[in-house]
Structure 1
Amino acid sequence: MLNIVLLEPEIPANTGNIGRTCVATGTRLHLIEPLGFKLNEKALKRAGMDYWADLDVTTYIDYADFCKKNPDAKVYMATTKAQKIYTEVSYEPDCYIMFGKESAGIPEEILLENQERCVRIPMVGDIRSLNLSNSAAIVLYEALRQNHFGGMNLEGHLHELHWK
């Protein structure tokens, strides 16, 4: 099972959208405080829709607490400062993919300690970053693809319409 980690997320709608994506993909969500919102906030629930109740989510009081409770976690860190593109690494089936807060990303000191697992999403020009929920979906689906979308529905079915 893959894991998405949000380090100090600030915008409830982004976290709600990521939570919904996690439910749809069987991914765990890890939230590292402080959060820029309360977990019972209406905007969070609205973005997560009725899926929030089905979400496998864990909260931590800070980054040190996350590290202490997940000592063997292989964590990839999404950042615009990375040298590697997110498609250039091999994601293990139980790895963690971390994203920083919307206004500042993952702190530089954490990135420096984990340079070999930093990944970036390519962008044109001087765009600061993509939306957090979009970034999480892009990298998560690459990790899922590399792991053959294990346990996911891989085909849909069209129903033939009869026109009169």
Structure 2
Amino acid sequence: MTSGPRIALYQPDIAGNTGTILRFAACMGLAVDIIEPAGFDLSDRNLKRAGMDYLEMAALTRHVDWQAFREHLHAQNRRLILLSTRASVPYTGFAFSDRDTLLFGRESAGVPEAVHEAADARLVIPMQPGARSLNLALSVAMVAGESIRQLRHATI
């Protein structure tokens, strides 16, 4: 579960989304990084309800802040792939790698400019004109699913 692409959440706001993402990641054999501070207590009952009994299966690494996460990425020689509504490259046209960490921003504010600048690639999920954003858990599932498809890691 520790090799291959990873999912990273930058200071997530909504426990239910994070729980759903942890459940998805556990089922798909993906590890998750949470960059704190989160907008909720990670023991929050909504997180447990959304993650159900899959939370014990989830490979979760918590990072105290952005700098600690960057040091972890560097030590693991991982590529940082940011999903952003400000990007221009569609996620479906990108060649994913086993050493990718797929980074998703806060539900309320995305990521700061310094995080954008630190990314090795910036990808977008194309949407209809006028649409602002998708639900975070849905976005993670779409992009991670494409990564898995490309890398043939699906076991279901």
Give the distance between the partners of 1:113 and 1:141, measured in 2 at CA: 24
Q: Which amino acid aligns with 1:10?
A: D
Aligned to 1:140: 144
Count of aligned pairs: 151
Aligned to 2:113: 108
Larger Rg: 1
Aligned to 1:120: 124
Identity fraction in percent = 35
Give the distance between the partners of 1:39 and 1:57, measured in 2 at CA: 11
Superposed, 1:44-123 pairs within 5 Å as 44-71=47-74, 72-114=77-119, 117-123=121-127
Q: Which amino acid aligns with 2:71?
A: K
Give the distance between the partners of 1:23 and 1:80, measured in 2 at CA: 26
User: For 1:6-63, what per-residue CA distance to the aligned partner results, in whole angstroms no more than 9, with x for missing partners?
Assistant: 0000000000000001001100000000101111110000000110011100000111
Give the distance between the partners of 1:56 and 1:74, measured in 2 at CA: 19
Q: Runs of 4+ in structure 1 displaced over 4 angstroms?
A: none
Structure 2 unaligned blocks of 5 or more: none
Q: Which amino acid aligns with 2:24?
A: T
Give the distance between the partners of 1:76 and 1:65, measured in 2 at CA: 17
CA RMSD of aligned residues (A): 1.1
Match for 1:4 among 4, 7, 10? 7
